[in-house]
Structure 1
Amino acid sequence: MNGKGASMHKSHLFILLILSFHLSFAGTAQIKVIYGEDNREDVSEVANPLYLQLSLSTAGMIKPEDLVELNNEQYSVAGKSLEEAGICAEERFSHQKTAASCSGFLVDKNKIVTAGHCIRSQADCDRYLWAFDYKVTATSDTEVVLDKKQVYKCRKIISQKLDRDSEADYALIELDRQVSDRSPLNFRRKGKPQVGESLVVIGHPSGLPTKIADGAIVRDVNDVFLTANLDTYGGNSGSAVFNATTGMVEGILVRGETDYIYDDVRDCRVSNVLANDAGDGEEVTLITIVEGLDRVVGKPPKPPVVVPPKPTEPEEPSQPVRLSWWQRLLRYLFGA
């Protein structure tokens, strides 16, 4: 290889290394992959009202330098597109920008759950911002504008775990102020999902604006995590994984199969596509093992007590009318 060729090879290698770091975010495992059909959709493409409601309470973890001030009330989201970062142009969403390092979701007015490998220390907490409504619209799928009021700082870590032995991976953090314009998500408090139950994941694959991906099922579950055929990538770490029917959070997306593979012919990377039942699956920390969650969030509201109406007393059967002698005489004479 001549000097120029070697230089180009090193340049491509450097770009791929940078992208790999960005998409896995110091990850414990590379995340993730497409199983069967690619079920990822932009929020603007989704019609399911339950999914749309859930997406409002999901957030992206973004570096401050990737938010450019437009005016006193708004930011523009900066960052490279997938194509600029070395992904093949034919890949879905290759023209969209990638600003989120991880995903998270609202569980209380000022508390977010994410993956433990996303927020390991107070330094990580201080380094990143959390943005709601990081999504494209029907009129523009390239530029994203955020209201400043939807961007929050991480105040402190409430609990965090990243354990190689048990494979528990979660973080519960407190934001700098309350989120007042959207509701915390409902999450499982006890037990675990059953194999075969349908799932949907909402987050930021490859750092992209919010994507909703359904069509997955629980493959296996133990006391710490479940395994499923979710269509997820780096950047989805920390995403809420929901029961697709009830909308209840079952867990936190944390790791899985390698997401992109290198195409030697095109000199770029493409999605790793597997059959729906192939591979080891994506792993999801069960929300029920997050330490301190019930304590800081509180018990779920009790359903309203419905008092059944008091049964009415049965009416006495009507008695035959007794006629006086003169009424009987009138009836006899005139048929009255």
Structure 2
Amino acid sequence: MYKHFLFILFFLLSFLVHASINSTHYLTEDKVIYGEDNTLYAGEYNDQRFVEASKAVAVMIPVDQMIDFGSFYELVRKTTYVDNYPLCKNEINYRGRVHSVCSGFLVDNDVLVTASHCIPDQLACQNGYKWVFGFSKENMASNEPIFVPKRDVFSCEKILESEYNLSANVQKDYAVIKLSRQVETIVPLAFRKEGKINDDDELVLIGYPVGRPQIIADHGQIRDNTFFYFFRTNLDAFIGNSGAPVLNYSTGLVEGIFLSGERDYVFNSVRQCWNIKRCQGVECRGEDVFRITGIDYIAPNKRSWLSRLLPEF
């Protein structure tokens, strides 16, 4: 019995020593800052082109976190695995009050593009989530309940095209979905139809990270533009940005869909909480963006994609 006790004590001490030596651990979420933090709330951004573009970007929220209140939905945040990883106090503003999952953007009045891993099948499309437009800082200005008008909430009617292939040098991860009705008063985003972005073009990301209101991240640079289906950037990206549009700062056109990238939280063993991972210079692997020209459904050299939306007889 005594030997058994000594064995357990030795094991625990060995574990603690190992933990103290290896004090940096990673939580796999798309949340990393490159250099200076280049994120701003969409309504506070100083370029009106992208403030206007942000209106066409929606957030995907689980239906079990939306309570029907007549002409409104109340958004409630249920406990998720993210809550098992408390942020350090200096990072607390990087996590919002709503459990948003992904982002997406309009390419036509009732057609939205996102990442395939966000909407893996028709069941998730129709029953799992809803898409909310106009979710801004004003929605979360206090600790009061969060309400969004139903006119800004849309369901996924069906998946029009989807592909998920993360094999080496491919990174195909996109879904084109038809919404339950047309989105009125919002102009869909214009996107690149041929060719590829220049190596020195600046990038802008618009999405909904970690349950926060809509965020714009700019000053993105291209790390690697040699891949056929995707390119790699140093955009400040967060979990929830998957499916968000990445735009060319010069042209305003959508260049691609944000996918994923660097591991992002770093465990602070002294304070027993998680810090945002920060990368300087060329540190870290970068963030992957799927080229929008790789989507067959909206490619201009294919048969008219708009005709596919017509009813079948």
Shorter-chain TM band: 0.7 to 0.9
Alpha carbons 2:95, 2:212 under 8 Å: kept: no
TM-score normalized by structure 1? 0.75
Tell whether 2:205 aligns with 1:201: yes
Tell whether 2:56 aligns with 1:54: no
Tell whether 2:102 aligns with 1:102: yes
Tell whether 2:233 aligns with 1:228: yes
1:63 CA drift (Å): 0.7
- Residue of structure 1 in register with 2:188 after alignment: 184
Q: 1:49 to 1:92 in 2, by over 3 A?
A: farther
1:63-88 Cα offsets, whole Å, 9 max, x none, are 1122233x422223221698786222
1:73 aligned residue (71, 74, 91): 71
- Residue of structure 1 in register with 2:136 after alignment: 135
1:260 CA drift (Å): 1.1
1:249-288 pair list within 5 angstroms: 249-288=254-293
Distance 1:100 1:293 in 2: 27
Distance 1:35 1:177 in 2: 38
Q: Secondary structure at the match of 1:227?
A: strand
Distance 1:62 1:279 in 2: 30
Alpha carbons 1:207, 1:236 under 8 Å: kept: no
Distance 1:157 1:120 in 2: 9
RMSD value over aligned CA atoms? 2.6
Distance 2:242 2:95 in 1: 22
Distance 1:190 1:268 in 2: 46
1:133 CA drift (Å): 1.0
Q: 1:138 to 1:296 in 2, by over 3 A?
A: same
Q: 1:142 to 1:108 in 2, by over 3 A?
A: farther
Distance 2:291 2:140 in 1: 37
Q: Secondary structure at the match of 2:293?
A: helix
> Which ranges in structure 2 are unaligned for 5 or more consecutive residues?
1-7, 10-26, 308-313
Alpha carbons 1:136, 1:209 under 8 Å: kept: yes
Alpha carbons 2:163, 2:175 under 8 Å: kept: yes
- Residue of structure 2 in register with 1:312 after alignment: none
Counterpart code for 1:278: E
Distance 2:287 2:95 in 1: 26
Work out the number of aligned pairs and report it: 275
Q: 1:280 to 1:135 in 2, by over 3 A?
A: same
Distance 1:46 1:297 in 2: 33
Give the fraction of aligned pairs with identical amino acids, expressed as a percent: 35
- Residue of structure 1 in register with 2:112 after alignment: 112
Counterpart code for 2:175: A
1:116-165 Cα offsets, whole Å, 9 max, x none, are 11111111112111111122129816554311111111011111111122
Distance 2:224 2:252 in 1: 20
- Residue of structure 2 in register with 1:36 after alignment: 35
Q: Secondary structure at the match of 1:292?
A: helix
Alpha carbons 1:102, 1:207 under 8 Å: kept: no
The structure whose RCO (Cα within 8 Å, separation 6+) is larger is 2
1:7-18 pair list within 5 angstroms: none
Larger radius of gyration: 1
- Residue of structure 2 in register with 1:241 after alignment: 246
Distance 1:217 1:61 in 2: 27
Alpha carbons 2:73, 2:149 under 8 Å: kept: yes
Distance 1:220 1:76 in 2: 42
> Which ranges in structure 1 are unaligned for 5 or more consecutive residues?
3-19, 25-29, 299-336
1:156 aligned residue (136, 155, 158): 158
1:192-234 Cα offsets, whole Å, 9 max, x none, are 1011110000001223221110011122222100111100011
Alpha carbons 1:80, 1:97 under 8 Å: kept: no
